[in-house]
Amino acid sequence: MYLNDLEKYKMEIIEKIRSTGIKATTQRRAVYCALSALGHASADEVAVAVRSDYPAITVATIYRVLDSFCEVGLISKLSTPSGKMQYDITAHDHAHIIDKSGTISDYDDDVLNEMISNYFEGKTVNGAKINSVKVQLFIA
Ligand SMILES: [Zn+2]
């Protein structure tokens, strides 16, 4: 399913992964390509997509690859209202719009991001510095 995309954007994907300082193995390229196509997805959804083209890749490997991508800042994670962890191909700060069906889409608003950043700058909560703020907008 994603094999054609993987070949088409092979060099772009390799450069993107390598830019974070990790090797662009076949498994990592396949996982990145699948999440690129999905946008926001659970590890299980990524696993289904990857394994349709690469049945030899274990689900455990896919989880490890996704977490390694998060560690190097290539992708990000978000927690949905249902408590399910989703991986996000977009790593930079951005808000999310969640509709009634639970579909998640990105909401980029530089003014909102700057306002939130300025508001919390230098503030602490329970004596701790705030690392990040995640905004989720729920629409009817
Ligand atoms: Zn997102």
Judge if 25 and 65 occupy the same domain.
yes
How many Å lie between the centroid of ligand 1 and the Cα of residue 18?
Answer: 22
Q: CA–CA separation, 79 vs 63, rounded Å? A: 16
Q: What is the 3-state secondary structure (H, E, C) of 47-97?
A: HHHHHHHCCCCCHHHHHHHHHHHHHCCCCEEEECCCCCEEEECCCCCCEEE
Specify the amino acid at residue 94. Answer: H
| 78 shares its domain with 131 | no
Closest Cα partner for 116 from 98, 133, 138, 101? 133
What is the CA(85)–ligand 1 centre distance, in A? 12
C-alpha closest to that of 89 among 24, 23, 35:
35
| C-alpha angle 129-134-135 in degrees, rounded to nearest 5 | 135
Centre of ligand 1 from the C-alpha of residue 67, in Å = 16
pLDDT value of position 134: 87
Beta bridge partners of 87: 41, 77
Same domain? For 38 and 102 the reply is: no
CA 94 to ligand 1 centroid distance, Å: 6
Query: What is the CB neighbour count within 10 angstroms for residue 66?
Result: 25
Residue 18 sits in the same domain as residue 76: yes
Give me the domain span that covers residue 45: 3-88
CATH code where residue 65 lies: 1.10.10.10
The edge-to-edge listing of strands for the beta sheet with 95-98 is 104-107, 95-98, 136-138
Q: Is the pTM of this model over 0.75?
A: yes
7, 35: one domain:
yes
> Is the alpha carbon torsion for 7, 11, 16, 19 positive or negative?
positive
CA of 23 to the centre of ligand 1 (A): 24
Ligand 1 midpoint to CA 75 (Å): 9
**Do 110 and 44 have their domain in common?**
no
Which residues 6+ apart lie within 8 Å of 125 measured at CB?
none
* Total domains present in the chain: 2
Q: Which residues surround ligand 1, an ion (CB under 5 A)?
A: 88, 90, 106
C-alpha 129 – ligand 1 centre gap (Å) = 24
Do 59 and 110 lie in one domain? The reply is: no
CA of 32 to the centre of ligand 1 (A): 15
How would you write the pLDDT of the chain (140 residues) with one tens digit per residue?
565 666 778 889 999 999 999 999 999 999 999 999 999 999 999 999 999 989 999 999 999 999 999 999 999 999 887 888 999 999 988 999 999 988 899 999 999 999 998 999 889 999 998 888 889 999 98
